[in-house]
Structure 1
Amino acid sequence: MALNVGPDFKQRWLNTPEAVRQTFIDDLSRICDVLKPETVLEEWLLYDQKSQLESERRIEAAYAQRKAELIEEARIRRQQALEKALNKKRAEAQAYAEQLRRDEELKFAEQNRKLIEMRQQLDLEIQHYTARYQKNPEQVLDFSAGQYRIEDSQIRSELDSVRLRLELEAESAIEQTVNALRDKLRAAAKEEIDYILQNSNLSQ
């Protein structure tokens, strides 16, 4: 007689766990034994009954193991997908922080350029006033209490004091700008880290 194994038998057979396939082969071999003339039917029936129970146990254990393997494979795929998504978020956060840092550096450079131009302008003004005073080194002011003379050394001392004060103020402004930039970068990095932790599925 012809054996009808149904459509796609080869694919289904190959997808079946190895232990199950071996059990099927053993069952077929045992069935073939009953066709042999020397086989005692009563003994074979008893043996077949025990063998069927063993086959069912082996098949159930094989499918349980296969199910566990499929669950583990699915877990690994999900873990890899989560790690990939997290790495993507980290890369995006890092790119955003890098862009923010570059923007802040540009702003800082622009502010620093303006401060340098301001300092240069102040230097020019100081030189201008110094030149004016040098043209009139012997200026004498008359007061009701007598004469009062302003010496060049006093003028230079006052101008040096003004220059020093302006330089200190400019350096203080630059330092404040640098500190503000650092605080903004720290705040942006903390905000991105908090966002990643709050929106990551790994914490669930």
Structure 2
Amino acid sequence: MALNVGQDFKKRWLDAPEAVRQTYLDDLNRICDLLTPESNLQAWLDNDKRAMQVAQLKVEQAYADLKAQLIEEARVRKQLALEKSLAEKRALQQQYNQQLIDDEIRQFQQQTVSLAAMREDIQSEIIEYTARYTENPSTPAPDYANNHFKVADHQIMSELESVRLRLELEAETFIEHAVQDFRAKLKAASDEEIKYILKNSKFSDTSE
């Protein structure tokens, strides 16, 4: 009689694990042994039950191993997808942080140029004010109610020097504040990137 193996036998056979196919082949060989004239029927029947149990255990173990393999492959694919997603997000975050840094550097450079121009203006004004008092008047200073209303040159120079120092200190303070603000923003951007990396680097190992 013809052996009915059902539909899609070839696909089902090729999809089965190697251990399962080998078990089925062993069973077929065992059945073929029964058909030989020299076969001992009683001995074959006595061993058949144990052989079927062994074959069933082999099939179950083979499918269990296949399932574990498929689960592990799925976990690896999921982890690789998460790593790829994290790498893309990190690249976007780094690009954004770099834009912030570039903007801060550009603003800092603009502020530096403005402060340098301000310092030159202050220095020019100091020179101009100083030039006004470098020469003593050729005529005596007026006498108001017998009080000589006259300011000594060294007092004027001292006052101008104080003004110059104060303006330079104010300019230096402004520059220092700008530098500190730039460093603080740069540190905040770095901290934000570190927190983002730590938050998204914990992959789930739970198998589906």
Q: Would you say same fold, with TM above 0.5?
A: yes
d(CA) in 2 for partners of 1:141, 1:97: 68
Report how far residue 56 of structure 1 moved: 0.4
Q: Mean Cα displacement is larger for which, 82-91 or 68-77? A: 82-91
Report how far residue 91 of structure 1 moved: 1.9
- Which has the bigger relative contact order, CA under 8 A and spacing at least 6? 2
- Structure 1: give runs of 5+ residues left out of the alignment: none
Aligned residues: 203
d(CA) in 1 for partners of 2:39, 2:146: 149
Q: Indicate how the Cα distance of structure 1 residues 151 and 35 shifts in structure 2: closer, same or farther if over 3 A, else same.
A: same
- TM-score, normalising length from structure 1? 0.85
Match of 1:181 in 2: 182
- Structure 2: give runs of 5+ residues left out of the alignment: none
Report how far residue 52 of structure 1 moved: 1.0
Deviating above 6 A after TM superposition, structure 1's stretches of 4 or more consecutive aligned residues are: none
Q: What letter matches 2:161 in structure 1?
A: D
SS in 2 for 1:36: coil
1:166 aligns with 2:167: yes
d(CA) in 2 for partners of 1:44, 1:142: 145
Question: Deviations along 1:140-186, whole A, 9 cap, x unmatched?
Answer: 35333432443443333222221111111101011111111222233
Q: What letter matches 2:180 in structure 1?
A: N
**Cα pair 1:197 1:203 within 8 Å, conserved:** no
**Cα pair 1:89 1:196 within 8 Å, conserved:** no
d(CA) in 2 for partners of 1:203, 1:178: 42
SS in 2 for 1:122: helix
Match of 1:36 in 2: 36
* Percent identity of equivalent pairs: 53
Match of 1:105 in 2: 105
Match of 1:58 in 2: 58
**Cα pair 1:23 1:55 within 8 Å, conserved:** yes
Match of 1:144 in 2: 145
d(CA) in 1 for partners of 2:204, 2:150: 80
d(CA) in 2 for partners of 1:88, 1:129: 61
- TM-score, normalising length from structure 2? 0.84
The Cα RMSD (Å) is 2.6
Question: Deviations along 1:106-129, whole A, 9 cap, x unmatched?
Answer: 111111211111111111111112
Q: Mean Cα displacement is larger for which, 12-21 or 124-133? A: 12-21
